[in-house]
Amino acid sequence: MDKEIAMNQEPESGNGNKNPKRHILIIIGIVVVLVILAIALPRYWSHVKNKHAREAQQAITELKSRVDSFWQTNGRMQGFTLEQAMADAKFSKKLQRNWQFVVVWKSNEIFNVELIEKLKAVSPTDYVYVAPYRIILAIATKANPIREGSKIWFDGGSGEFHGYGVDTVVEPDWGSIFPDP
């Protein structure tokens, strides 16, 4: 009887694969998953990058608003602290863990020259604003999911955002911000 059972069984192929169709379906499934990942992952990372860039831009915009308000109320920046501005703006602990904020102030000489130049071009009834800062900068910390050291900043001269997730300018022009004396 053992001989009869053995004779009715098909011999196994050399590669040990009893169902080649199943093997092909598994390979196709793996390829489909890899294609989906190849499409989805870059989109996901782009979304994460944009989310963090918007987070920093909103925080910088809020700081800019606090600086402007302080300036308009006091006519000077003496007494302004970044810590108080962040507390007044109710920055979350997570935001403060992810980003370090810096305000790079203009010297009185630079501020006065800019103000005089703007006043030359307006009528006496126009309101003239000159930002008291050169840039307001956010730098990604080690806790930030994006690369540590990535920067986003608002340029007080041009009124534009630059840096990570905004444009290809990865560093402020430090030479113009801190010119050699």
As a whole number of angstroms, the distance between CA 153 and CA 105 comes to 13
Residue 139's closest CA among 100, 95, 92? 100
Asked whether residue 135 is assigned to any structural domain, the reply reads: yes
High-pLDDT (> 90) share of the chain, %: 20
Structure tokens at 42: 């870059």
Residue 56's closest CA among 135, 174, 158? 135
Asked whether residue 143 is assigned to any structural domain, the reply reads: yes
Q: Report the range of poorest mean pLDDT among 12-21, 69-78, 93-102.
A: 12-21
As a whole number of angstroms, the distance between CA 3 and CA 78 comes to 102
Listed in sequence order, the DSSP H helices in the chain are 2-8, 20-74, 82-88, 93-98, 108-120, 174-177
Burial of 88 (0-12, 13-18, 19+ CB in 10 A): middle
Average pLDDT over residues 87-96: 91
Structure tokens at 174: 């430090």
pLDDT over threshold 60, residue 136? yes
CB 95 within 8 A of CB 144: no
- The secondary structure element, H or E, covering residue 13 is none
Number of domains in the chain: 1
Asked whether residue 74 is assigned to any structural domain, the reply reads: yes
Residues in the chain: 181
- Per-residue pLDDT tens digits for 66-75: 988 888 888 7
Residue range(s) defining the domain that contains residue 94: 50-177
Question: Using alpha carbons only, what angle is made at residue 94 by residues 100 and 53, rounded to the nearest 5 degrees?
Answer: 60
Cα-based distances in Å from 15 to 12, 18, 20, 24, 114:
8, 9, 10, 14, 81
Asked whether residue 8 is assigned to any structural domain, the reply reads: no
Total-model pTM: 0.66
Asked whether residue 11 is assigned to any structural domain, the reply reads: no
pLDDT over threshold 90, residue 105? no
Asked whether residue 86 is assigned to any structural domain, the reply reads: yes
Asked whether residue 142 is assigned to any structural domain, the reply reads: yes
